Structure 1
């Protein structure tokens, strides 16, 4: 499973980082940066919650 960020959709809410601090960090302006495109084993539910938390659908998961 991979986590992808569409940075053009990110508005800097930071909800994704709250749900998945090991997968996403925020830059100095509060915009998301995906730390690990490959979701580690056991982090799938966290990644789903992270992607679902984004109000602008900037994050998506693919198998």
Structure 2
């Protein structure tokens, strides 16, 4: 299983994660990104990883349950 975590202290609300993976990330009322899913469905893992790489503030961490990243 793959999980995404957003560090709200680092998130600047650029919305790139939402543009890249709208089924995984959203912007909350505080203007920060948050995850919409606990376990990322297999079909969305590539998009979630791309969103993590696109984040200018490096606020998104993608973790595989099988191994440490």
* TM-score by shorter chain over 0.5: yes
For 1:5 and 1:53, locate their aligned partners in 2 and report how far apart those are by CA, in whole Å: 13
For 2:38 and 2:55, locate their aligned partners in 1 and report how far apart those are by CA, in whole Å: 16
Q: Secondary structure at the match of 1:3?
A: strand
For 1:6 and 1:38, locate their aligned partners in 2 and report how far apart those are by CA, in whole Å: 17
Residue in 1 that maps onto 2:51: 50
Give the total of aligned pairs.
Answer: 63
Report the CA distance between 1:29 and its aligned residue.
4.7
Q: Which runs of 5+ in 1 are unaligned?
A: none
TM-score with structure 1 setting the length: 0.89
Asked whether the 8 Å contact 1:14–1:30 carries over to 2, the reply is: no
Asked whether the 8 Å contact 1:16–1:51 carries over to 2, the reply is: yes
Greater C-alpha Rg = 2
